[in-house]
Amino acid sequence: MGKGGCGIFAYVNHGVGRSQRFIVDALVTGLRRLEYRGYDSAGLSLDRVPSLKAASTGSNGHGAGHGGAGQGGSAPLVFRATGKVDALVACVESTGPTSGLAWEVELDFHAGIAHTRWATHGPPLPKNAHPHVSDSGHAFVVVHNGIITNHAPLREMLQRHGFVFESDTDTEVIPKLAKYLYDSFPPTPDNSPRLSFLQLVQLVVRELDGAYALIFKSSHYPGELVAAKRGSPLLLAIRDPAAADAATAAAAAAAGEHLQQRSNSSGGSGGAATGAADGVLATADSHDRPAMTQRPRPGKRRRADQIEFFLASDASAVIEHTKKVVVLEDDDCVHLAGGSYAVYRLQRGGPPAADGAPAPASAFLSGDGADAHGGVLLNPPATVHRVIQTLELEVEQIMRGKWDHFMAKEIHEQPDSLRQTMRGRVISPGPACPAGRIQLGGISGFVGAIRRSRRIMFIACGSSFHGCLAVRPLVEELTELPVQLELASDFLDRRCPVFRGDTCVFVSQSGETADTLRALEYAKSAGALCVGVVNAVGSAIARATDCGIHINAGAEIGVASTKAYTSQIVSLVMMALLLSEDSASKATRRAEIIAALQTLPDAVADVLRLDAQIRVLATSLVKEQSMLVFGRGWNYATALEAALKVKEVALMHSEGILAGEMKHGPLALVDASLPLLCVATSDGHLAKMESVCEQLRARGGRIILMVDDARGRLAQAAGSTPDGASRVLVVPRTVDCLQSVVNAVPLQLLAYHLTVLRGHNVDRACPRPSVLPPCLHALLRFYLTRMTMPHAEPRNLAKSVTVE
Ligand code: F6R
């Protein structure tokens, strides 16, 4: 099984000599880039040297040279280990040479696959790690990210047919089903497979319910890979070594002509499929400032003599090799063979019956599938054209550089990420427009429609939800429309009524969060105008929305959302400003905010100077078991977000509390032992916040203050901790609606330092407790009762939660 937090990766070299060491390194490096998605076990599969020789010398590659491959000593090697990718490397180093790996042997043609996992079905044991295999001969080897919801009946059926399962996972049914189906179509008299690899995978995938990104490798189809996607992210990346080595951009562009997509004889791009591709491009175009540019459709079709392909759960795993990517759509299936690739559309449901009606999905699993469906199966599906896009992501963005952790790097990057979010969008005041203005190409054509909505609903999860909460007062103030906030899971659980006249804004860093994506599908089906505010370009939410704003914070690798959070707030503030552009009564307010946006990166740079002070504060809090964070108005979101960060990475209990609710329950918790962090920066609610602080202090509460006025009444009364740490954080002041951006930063730093001081690895991903098996739940509870947990791994969320 692979779950929301898993990463899959593949590397194919065609006509480019690569040693097995190089190939293993490529697979392992890909996994390291994806390790933030899950790291409790990892695995990879590559070919033994003898089979590769057969494949490369026999047919010069793929497709035609199936005969005889897959027999005898050609079983792909599979290595699996629990723990991080380092453990896998150790396993390959120690067992590889005795199992058929020859480090220095160079292979001209090869296809390898790899996986990094976070356990949900079955504990992290080698037997549950991917790749999963069909049989002891490894005829089919599969890596999977997602969840197969009908794995139980498939497993029963396969067991009835003699298959023996070794793992507790849902994924294992997939390679076994592939073998079962392969065996039900006996080879031709010259011992070639009767089905192409693509056709076989198509049959397998038809039987699967749930979400998946899958990569299949098989000894029957050496050098080939087939990948399929539904609901979990997957992209194909293409590297033309000649182009990559060329010194000039012109040479690179010319060499790019090699990167051809093959088309099958059934008629090239099918109408519906082509339409879908165009639709995607229209969506991508409609979001302004995309982080990808698109290549023109290739004119020639020919195979490349030398080419490398990569398949990966996300772009960070491929960017060091190439920027040319094809983002796959749900129900796309990619076939890599013979130095070219083709993308096909998979049909859902069973193969059509003779009368054209779809056959029951499992009809052919009864055992006579070959006879009943062989004719149908031999018709390959139509290809679909997918544009090769150029990633505008730089390798440095996915490297830690001088920083110990991605979280630290990303916190400190915020002045730049905010500038990037605003670049070209916040237009300075000038003679033509004295107050300045906002330009958001991705939604400019929809401003009228949004303004005419009967309400605006913001739908998101976690920090992204807090970003919406931070901006709600401003959207209400500037648009005078009813604004509703929805946590995506609750929105879905309630089947919240949505109407044609609604605008639904989906906010997500990853653009792949399952709950948010399902909520989007639901709102779309209700006819609402759907707007995406997304950081990951080409992600499912970015593609499925009618229009949107790219957050443009740059790649966020650390598991905790930091720079994406502050850039989300700024994106939503810009949206609110644009929506109120026509309102003369709001002109002064708008001008004030636009001016503050322009100085915001500097204010964030200033607040980052508190780093050392915050580390001292964190030291004074390191042994605490709990902390409450109070905020109200513009900073209610700040309180929730600070508490989430502390929970998520420092693994310390923390609650964000609306200060106005303090007397309605939380006050009972207040005594001298519990740290209370109060966000009390100047805005229209300061007097009320001061009063809350006074009441907390009257109960003996240990208050830590965030203020913007060091000489204010609250700050003067604050004092310091017994070990000398100041209890007052003085932050720069900005306009009220942007203060939450400035205020979030020291609290991110506090969570970061607490985490490091408590001995946890800040950047690693862990699953939500709700998807942990019972034994890990028990472990989690045990750890949560401990004050500190030196050297332990954290249990924070996976970066991208692609299952509900
Ligand atoms: C917290 C965090 C999560 C995400 C949430 C939604 O630091 O990262 O709470 O904000 O899982 O993720 P996206 O924004 O990718 O939809």
The string of DSSP letters for 685-697 reads THHHHHHHHHHHH
Q: Which of 253-257, 366-370, 639-643, 694-698 has the highest mean pLDDT?
A: 639-643
Q: Which of 469, 471, 507, 509 is nearest to 488 (CA)?
A: 507
CB atoms under 10 Å from CB of 149, counted, come to: 11
Helix (H, G, I), strand (E, B) or coil at 290: coil
Q: What's the distance, Cα to Cα, between the start and end of the chain in Å?
A: 15
Calculate how far, in angstroms, residue 739's C-alpha sits from the geometric centre of ligand 1.
21
| Cα dist from 463 to 467, 470, 490, 657, 752, whole Å | 6, 10, 15, 15, 16
According to the model, what pLDDT value does residue 701 have?
86
Q: Which of 640, 762, 797, 800 to mutate to test the pocket of ligand 1 (most atoms within 8 A of CB)?
A: 797
**Do the bridges between strand 502-508 and strand 529-534 make them parallel or antiparallel, or are there none, so unpaired?**
parallel
Calculate how far, in angstroms, residue 507's C-alpha sits from the geometric centre of ligand 1.
10
The percentage of the chain sitting over the pLDDT mark of 70, rounded to a whole number, equals 78
According to the model, what pLDDT value does residue 339 have?
92
Compute the C-alpha angle 503/283/552, nearest 5°.
85
What is the rounded CA–CA span in Å between residue 122 and residue 114?
A: 19
The DSSP secondary structure of 231-279, one letter per residue, reads BS--EEEEE-HHHHH-SSHHHHHHHGGG-PBP--TTTSS-HHHHHHHHH
What is the rounded CA–CA span in Å between residue 639 and residue 668?
A: 19
The stretch 735-742 carries a mean pLDDT of 98
The percentage of the chain sitting over the pLDDT mark of 90, rounded to a whole number, equals 57
pLDDT exceeds cutoff 70 at 245: no
What is the rounded CA–CA span in Å between residue 701 and residue 674?
A: 7
What is the rounded CA–CA span in Å between residue 555 and residue 340?
A: 29
More confident position, 339 or 371: 339
pLDDT exceeds cutoff 50 at 130: yes
According to the model, what pLDDT value does residue 598 have?
95
Residue range 601-647, pLDDT digits in tens: 999 999 999 999 999 999 999 999 999 999 999 999 999 999 999 99
Q: State phi, psi for 631 to the nearest 5 degrees.
A: -155, 165
Give ligand 1 pocket residues (Cβ under 6 A): 461-464, 508-510, 513, 516, 560-561, 644, 648, 797, 800-801
The stretch 430-451 carries a mean pLDDT of 91
Residue with the nearest Cα to atom 10 of ligand 1?
A: 463
Q: Which of 3-7, 62-66, 394-398, 694-698 has the highest mean pLDDT?
A: 694-698
Q: Which atom of ligand 1 is nearest to the CA of 799?
A: 8
Tokens of 71: 């027999």
Q: Which residues of 17-52 are buried (b: 16+ CB within 10 A; e: fewer)?
A: ebebbbbbebbbbbbbbbbbbbbbbbbbbbbbbebb
Phi/psi-derived region of residue 730, left when phi > 0, alpha when psi is between -120 and 50, beta in every other case:
beta
Q: Which of 513, 518, 539, 556 to mutate to test the pocket of ligand 1 (most atoms within 8 A of CB)?
A: 513
According to the model, what pLDDT value does residue 226 have?
97
Helices (H), 378-479: 406-412, 414-422, 447-451, 462-479
Average pLDDT in the chain: 81
CB atoms under 10 Å from CB of 671, counted, come to: 10
CB atoms under 10 Å from CB of 208, counted, come to: 23
What is the rounded CA–CA span in Å between residue 630 and residue 423?
A: 33
Indicate the helix (H) or strand (E) that contains 598. helix 587-607
pLDDT exceeds cutoff 50 at 58: no
Helix (H, G, I), strand (E, B) or coil at 136: coil
What is the rounded CA–CA span in Å between residue 206 and residue 198?
A: 12
Q: State phi, psi for 677 to the nearest 5 degrees.
A: -100, 120
According to the model, what pLDDT value does residue 557 have?
85
According to the model, what pLDDT value does residue 363 have?
43
Instruction: Evaluate whether 213 touches 196 at the Cβ level (below 8 Å).
Output: no
What is the rounded CA–CA span in Å between residue 505 and residue 583?
A: 22
pLDDT exceeds cutoff 80 at 777: no
According to the model, what pLDDT value does residue 800 have?
55
Calculate how far, in angstroms, residue 206's C-alpha sits from the geometric centre of ligand 1.
32
Calculate how far, in angstroms, residue 5's C-alpha sits from the geometric centre of ligand 1.
13
783 DSSP β-pair partners: none
What is the rounded CA–CA span in Å between residue 743 and residue 705?
A: 11
What is the rounded CA–CA span in Å between residue 267 and residue 269?
A: 6
Calculate how far, in angstroms, residue 564's C-alpha sits from the geometric centre of ligand 1.
9
Q: Which of 115, 88, 78 is nearest to 3 (CA)?
A: 115
pLDDT exceeds cutoff 90 at 447: yes
Residues with Cβ < 8 Å from 669, sequence gap 6 or more?
628
Q: State phi, psi for 336 to the nearest 5 degrees.
A: -105, 120
Q: Which of 406, 410, 510, 771 to mutate to test the pocket of ligand 1 (most atoms within 8 A of CB)?
A: 510
What is the rounded CA–CA span in Å between residue 574 and residue 585?
A: 18
According to the model, what pLDDT value does residue 726 have?
63
Per DSSP, which regions of 277-363 are E strands? 292-294, 307-312, 324-327, 332-337, 340-345
By annotation, the residues acting in catalysis are 6
| pLDDT bracket for residue 799 (50, 70, 90) | low
Tokens of 59: 């047919």
| pLDDT bracket for residue 373 (50, 70, 90) | very low
Tokens of 729: 């954080």
**Do the bridges between strand 455-460 and strand 483-487 make them parallel or antiparallel, or are there none, so unpaired?**
parallel
Residue with the nearest Cα to atom 3 of ligand 1?
A: 462
Q: Which of 168, 203, 569 is nearest to 381 (CA)?
A: 203
Indicate the helix (H) or strand (E) that contains 518. helix 514-525
CB atoms under 10 Å from CB of 449, counted, come to: 15
pLDDT exceeds cutoff 50 at 360: no
pLDDT exceeds cutoff 60 at 371: no
Helix (H, G, I), strand (E, B) or coil at 591: helix
Residue with the nearest Cα to atom 11 of ligand 1?
A: 462
| pLDDT bracket for residue 553 (50, 70, 90) | very high
